């Protein structure tokens, strides 16, 4: 099994070095002196240890971020200079792509080809896109007609200003990519950041902090505090001097973030869970639908908030699609992310392995039929088989709760109205997929799906200019696009009597 011996000398040295907290431009140990181990999910080996931030460290980081936000070096920096720094950071991400890919694969388990070919270039693209917004944060002039004062004249305008100090809590499924979604627009708007990476995957966030200091961001603009959710994350959400907290993760933790934010009524943005419907009509290009539906749920070992875990197939296409999906699942190469031929890596942790296999067992106990997969692979590493279940009912726990693993439930449909009701019968509303050649059907169906994103004849396509975020219990607000930029700004009205 490929391990540390197969990565570069630089990566081995980085993992063996002292990985501390980045606060105010300095690398410092946690005030408690505590550290935690980072595990390679493919081998279960300890590959690094990292300073464990907690409330006291978060407080220092918030103070550093506040100083940076108010300092002329950042507060008065022209938008064009912020854009230059953000663009320079994107260039460094690409220049260090191999280092980043190795760290991301060891940390998260994803195939190295995904880290190289998708995570790094897509992250760099987000930074470049957001760099362009740094010079375009414009207000408006607003003509006023005030009835009680018909002869008075006023000049009114709006300013769009950065919210301030932002706490950002990122997930472990796409560590660098999800970090770019939050960090890039915050930088473009002039906010300062306290970043808490997931405790399972802190390595690329720490390396990003190094790159930001190297390209010239002022001290304290970015602060990186790895730690656990119940300590560092909770302290960040609760801190009275944080102006906004943004979180990507489970709906349960999202609720905790909302409660913690109430103290100073800080702004909250949440990108939470999903149980996305993926819909295949019998007129679809079935080979494309089979391949797309497999990617929708097996990509990144199913650890994807938009995973198409509820697959609805029209009666006429059902048998062919299930057979094709099962064949594809059986052919997928599951293995360590560092193995060049791996298509599906391990789950991120032992906890996640127990969760996913538990859902698999519960589904069959409730009457679902196992068509492919269904269990753990091997004795070492957190690998599970790509799994397909049929004969599923909408009230099964497996069909109602987010699994975050490579498991899909397939069900038939005939009537469009019944399909819409079943597709929307979930607490979540993150995304949906439609596979059909009928454009009229698409335009009729897409508005009826209670989700934030609808993909047609493709799945899980994210672009920097396209707003992303969910309905219902899948979250509040949008990331990416102009809406993602606006979420880090607040509008001030100015009215002058002439």
Longest CA–CA span in the chain (Å) reads 83
With a CB cutoff of 8 Å and minimum separation 6, the contacts of 142 are 156, 157, 158, 493
Estimate the share of the chain in helix, then strand, then coil, as percent rounded to the nearest 5: 40, 20, 35
Cα→Cα distances 184→104, 124, 152, 165, 284, Å: 19, 10, 44, 14, 38
* Residues with catalytic function: 271, 305
Q: How far apart are CA 174 and CA 199, in angstroms?
A: 13
Cα→Cα distances 275→184, 301, 470, Å: 28, 15, 11
- Helix, strand or coil for residue 404? coil
Q: How far apart are CA 45 and CA 57, in angstroms?
A: 28
Cα→Cα distances 188→81, 145, 304, Å: 10, 35, 27
Query: Are 186 and 193 in contact, with CB atoms under 8 Å apart?
Result: yes
Query: Are 184 and 130 in contact, with CB atoms under 8 Å apart?
Result: yes
Q: How far apart are CA 318 and CA 367, in angstroms?
A: 19
């Amino acid at each position: 099994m490929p391990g540390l011996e197969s990565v570069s000398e630089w990566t081995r040295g980085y993992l063996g070095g002292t990985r501390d907290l980045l606060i105010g431009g300095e690398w410092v140990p946690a005030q408690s002196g505590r550290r935690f181990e980072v595990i390679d999910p493919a081998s279960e080996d300890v590959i690094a240890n990292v300073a464990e931030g907690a409330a006291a460290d978060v407080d220092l980081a918030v103070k550093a971020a506040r100083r940076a936000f108010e300092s002329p070096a950042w507060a008065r920096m022209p938008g064009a200079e912020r854009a230059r720094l953000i663009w320079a950071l994107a260039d460094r991400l690409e220049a260090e792509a191999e280092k980043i890919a190795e760290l991301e694969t060891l940390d998260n388990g994803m195939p190295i080809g995904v880290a190289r070919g998708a995570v790094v270039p897509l992250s760099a693209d987000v930074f470049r896109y957001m760099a362009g917004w740094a010079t375009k944060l414009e207000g408006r002039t607003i003509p006023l007609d005030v009835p009680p004062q018909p002869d008075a004249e006023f000049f009114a305008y709006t300013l769009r200003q950065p919210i301030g100090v932002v706490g950002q809590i990122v997930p472990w499924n796409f560590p660098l990519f999800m970090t770019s979604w939050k960090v890039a627009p915050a930088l473009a708007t002039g906010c300062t950041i306290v970043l808490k990476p997931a405790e399972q995957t802190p390595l690329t966030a720490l390396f990003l902090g190094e790159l930001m200091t190297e390209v010239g961001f002022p001290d304290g603009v970015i602060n990186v505090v790895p730690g656990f959710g119940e300590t560092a994350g909770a302290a960040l959400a609760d801190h009275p001097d944080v102006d906004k907290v943004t979180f990507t993760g489970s709906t349960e933790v999202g609720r905790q973030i909302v409660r913690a934010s109430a103290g100073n009524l800080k702004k909250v943005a949440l990108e939470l869970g999903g149980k996305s419907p993926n819909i295949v009509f019998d007129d679809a290009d079935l080979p494309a639908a089979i391949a797309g539906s497999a990617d929708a749920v097996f990509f990144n070992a199913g650890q994807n908030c938009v995973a198409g875990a509820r697959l609805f197939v029209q009666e006429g296409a059902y048998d062919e699609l299930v057979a094709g999906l099962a064949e594809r699942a059986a052919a997928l190469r599951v293995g360590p992310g560092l193995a060049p031929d791996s298509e599906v890596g391990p789950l991120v942790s032992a906890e996640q392995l127990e969760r996913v296999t538990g859902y698999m067992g519960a589904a069959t106990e409730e009457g679902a039929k196992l068509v492919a997969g269904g269990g753990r692979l091997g004795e070492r590493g957190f690998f599970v088989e790509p799994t397909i279940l049929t004969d599923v009912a909408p009230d099964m726990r497996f069909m109602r709760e987010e699994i975050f693993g490579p498991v899909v439930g397939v069900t038939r449909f005939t009537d469009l109205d019944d399909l819409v009701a079943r597709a929307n019968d979930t607490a979540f509303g993150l995304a949906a997929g439609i596979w059909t050649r009928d454009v009229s059907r698409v335009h009729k169906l897409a508005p009826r799906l209670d989700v934030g994103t609808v993909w047609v004849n493709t799945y899980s396509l994210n672009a920097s200019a396209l707003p992303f975020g969910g309905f219902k219990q899948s979250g509040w607000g949008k990331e990416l696009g102009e809406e993602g930029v606006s979420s880090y700004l607040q509008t001030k009205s100015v009215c002058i009597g002439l």
